[in-house]
């Protein structure tokens, strides 16, 4: 994965989630929520329809960044991403995917340059459709401090009162991590944000 932005392609940041108001503030929609915050901060919108996704465009330190929220439902996210990547101005080398992660404690974030799907169906679909797991991903922890009886139901539930109190800071930190990947490179961003999570 290149450390600097080179070539013509734009950065494409894909937030994973499910469409519909009933899922808007659920744990599985953290990817959508991070993109919504970034768009708000930039004064842009994510509403243009393309490849069964809602797409928007912004600028980070002079670099063009596109945001995409697949509307296929989580398990088919890869179909939307594959379609989006067909355009010449986009590439896997400048793809960042944001997902929730039930294996990480709530609020913890992890940047990785590549890796397995870890049981996440959205990541699984993207890897299957792209034919590679070599793309940057930001995982946001949703694991509670108690056992989860039904993971499928849990990820589609809203946040608890205590979690809701921490949510804004988690989203802001995640957005900062994405900006760091784009402006500084994945290795530098990992050193900063993954280190923070260990302290």
| 28 is known as an active-site residue | yes
Using CA atoms, how far apart are residues 51 and 95, in angstroms rounded to an integer? Answer: 16
Q: What is the pLDDT of residue 195?
A: 82
Structural domain contains residue 165 = yes
Q: What is the pLDDT of residues 158-197, one digit of tens each?
A: 999 999 999 999 999 999 999 999 999 999 999 999 987 5
Structural domain contains residue 19 = yes
Structural domain contains residue 57 = yes
Q: What is the pTM of this model?
A: 0.94
Structural domain contains residue 4 = no
Compute CA distances 94 → 12, 34, 80, 86, 131, whole Å.
Answer: 6, 18, 16, 13, 16
Choosing from 28, 117, 120, 146, which is the catalytic residue? 28
Structural domain contains residue 1 = no
Residues spanned by the domain of 167: 10-198
Structural domain contains residue 2 = no
Do residues 56 and 39 make contact, with C-beta atoms less than 8 angstroms apart? yes
Structural domain contains residue 181 = yes
Q: What is the pLDDT of residue 27?
A: 98
Closest CA to 141 of 98, 109, 112, 166: 109
Residue 3's pLDDT band, with cuts at 50, 70 and 90, is: very low
pLDDT at residue 1 above 60?
A: no
Structural domain contains residue 68 = yes
pLDDT at residue 74 above 50?
A: yes
Q: Please count the structural domains in the chain.
A: 1
Mean pLDDT of 39-62: 97
The domain that holds 127 is classified in CATH as: 3.40.50.1470
List all residues 6 or more positions away from 196 whose beta carbon is below 8 Å from its beta carbon.
173
Using CA atoms, how far apart are residues 115 and 106, in angstroms rounded to an integer? Answer: 20
């Amino acid at each position: 994965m290149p450390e600097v932005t080179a070539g013509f392609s734009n950065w494409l940041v894909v937030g994973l989630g499910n469409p519909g108001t009933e899922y808007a503030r659920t744990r599985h929609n953290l990817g959508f929520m991070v993109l919504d915050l970034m768009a708000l901060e930039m004064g842009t919108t994510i509403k243009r329809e393309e490849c069964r996704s809602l797409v928007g465009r912004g600028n980070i330190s002079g670099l063009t960044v596109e945001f995409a929220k697949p509307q296929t439902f989580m398990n088919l996210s890869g179909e939307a991403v594959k379609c989006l990547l067909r355009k010449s101005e986009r590439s896997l080398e400048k793809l960042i995917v944001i997902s929730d992660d039930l294996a990480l404690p709530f609020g913890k974030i992890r940047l990785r340059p590549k890796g397995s799907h870890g049981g996440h169906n959205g990541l699984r679909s993207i890897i299957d459709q792209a034919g590679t797991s070599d793309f940057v991903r930001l995982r946001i922890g949703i694991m509670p401090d108690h056992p989860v009886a039904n993971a499928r139901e849990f990820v589609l539930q809203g946040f608890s009162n205590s979690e809701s109190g921490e949510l804004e800071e988690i989203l802001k930190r995640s957005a900062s991590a994405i900006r760091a990947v784009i402006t500084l490179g994945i290795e530098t961003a990992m050193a900063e944000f993954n280190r923070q999570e260990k302290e």
